[in-house]
């Protein structure tokens, strides 16, 4: 394992490693991902093992151009093209009917495949040079916080992968919006930087219920997810002695003042939680952001982080 600056040579090494069935960590604009050849089921199984992820929780397939989409998805609805034109490359994942060439291991046994075209230059270069679609779940162990900087990648993952590309801090900081286009009514399976309003502006009608009534459609939607080791408790306001995140001036060194803009908040949320998540920290208190549409993605992650393990 080696952590490399993403020079052209390092990108080539990562792409070659993927072509040969290896597993590498790459930066994307959302979070870091553990990447492998999406069509190689042994490599995909290794990714599941590295993450300690249940095999029925499908991976997102990353592409660098429209032709690659047609390698993994079929019966692509015209709506998908509209979303791609507006938001690709970018933090929007589309769930579409899968082609038979995509192994069931990649899609967790589903007949659909989740696809996105990332906009991070390093991710795009790796996919282009590997010349194949790349499966990449977030580079965290199952249920933990996704890393948004190379130094935040769990040592357990570092030792298991072949190459790590350090592309600096991720610009968006929250995982992509996942939008299911396999039904007549599009449905958000995971809120993200591309908001419900952005999506409705393209569909021209309200989206399906979230979460969907059919739980098999959203295998990754566990109640607890995206969590630090400390307990997370949402509150109206922090008291002076509490450790946590708030919108006010910090009352002690273990309080972090968060941005009052949701995009800026999302970009620093995971690093802020990590900074406070020390072994001796029992509880991280978080002042609840306003329950408004533009906060949907942040609120989703905070509610999942604060859900008790059951």
Name residues whose C-beta falls within 8 Å of residue 81's C-beta, 6 or more positions apart in sequence.
Answer: none
Q: Which residue, 202 or 221, is less far from Mg ion as judged by CB?
A: 221
Looking at the DSSP bridge assignments, the partners of residue 92 are 177
Q: Which of the choices ligand TXA, Mg ion, none does residue 72 contact, using the CB cut-off of 5 to 8 A by kind?
A: none
**Contact track, ligand TXA, 105-134, x by CB under 6 A:** --x--x-xxx---x----------------
User: Is there binding between residue 47 and ligand TXA (CB under 6 A)?
Assistant: no
- For residue 100, the minimal CB distance to ligand TXA (Å) is 14
Q: What is the dihedral of CA 272, 294, 113, 72, to 10 degrees?
A: -100
Query: Does 28 help bind ligand TXA (rule: CB under 6 A)?
Result: yes
Identify residues 134-163 at the interface with ligand TXA (CB under 6 A).
Answer: 136-138
Range 120-139, binding Mg ion (CB under 5 A): 138
With binding defined as CB under 6 A, does residue 176 bind ligand TXA? yes
> Segment 214-273, which members bind ligand TXA (CB under 6 A)?
217-220
Q: Which of 180, 288 has the CB closer to ligand TXA?
A: 180
Return the number of the residue (130 or 256) whose C-beta is nearest ligand TXA.
130
Rounded Cα distance between 39 and 114, Å, is: 13
28 touching Mg ion, by CB under 5 A: no
Binding site for ligand TXA (CB under 6 A): 28, 30-31, 33, 57-60, 91, 93, 95, 107, 110, 112-114, 118, 136-138, 175-176, 178, 189-190, 217-220
């Amino acid at each position: 394992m080696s952590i490399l600056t993403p020079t052209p040579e390092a990108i080539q090494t990562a792409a070659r490693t993927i072509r040969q069935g290896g597993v590498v960590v790459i930066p994307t604009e959302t979070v870091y991902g553990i990447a492998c050849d999406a069509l190689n089921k042994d490599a995909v199984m290794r990714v599941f093992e590295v993450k300690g992820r249940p095999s029925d929780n499908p991976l997102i397939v990353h592409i660098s151009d429209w032709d690659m989409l047609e390698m993994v998805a079929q019966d692509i609805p015209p709506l998908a093209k509209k979303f791609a034109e507006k938001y690709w490359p970018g933090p929007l994942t589309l769930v579409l009917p899968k082609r038979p060439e995509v192994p069931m291991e990649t899609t967790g046994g589903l007949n659909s495949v989740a696809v996105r075209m990332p906009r991070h230059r390093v991710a795009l270069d790796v996919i282009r040079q590997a010349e194949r679609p790349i499966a990449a779940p977030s580079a965290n162990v199952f249920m933990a916080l996704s890393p948004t900087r190379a130094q935040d990648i769990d040592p357990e993952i570092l030792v298991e992968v072949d190459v790590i590309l350090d592309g600096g801090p991720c610009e968006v900081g929250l995982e992509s919006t996942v939008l299911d286009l396999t039904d007549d009514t599009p449905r958000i399976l995971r809120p993200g930087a591309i908001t419900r309003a952005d999506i409705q502006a393209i569909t021209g009608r309200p989206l399906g219920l979230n979460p969907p009534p059919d739980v098999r459609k959203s295998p990754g939607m566990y109640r607890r997810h995206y969590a630090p080791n400390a307990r997370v408790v949402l509150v109206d306001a922090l008291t002076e002695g509490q450790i946590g995140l708030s919108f006010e001036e910090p009352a002690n060194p273990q309080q972090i003042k968060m941005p009052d803009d949701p995009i800026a908040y999302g970009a620093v949320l995971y690093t802020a939680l990590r900074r406070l998540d020390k072994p001796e920290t029992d509880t991280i208190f978080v002042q609840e952001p306003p329950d408004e549409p533009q906060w949907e993605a942040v609120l989703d992650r905070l509610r999942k982080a604060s859900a008790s393990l059951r």
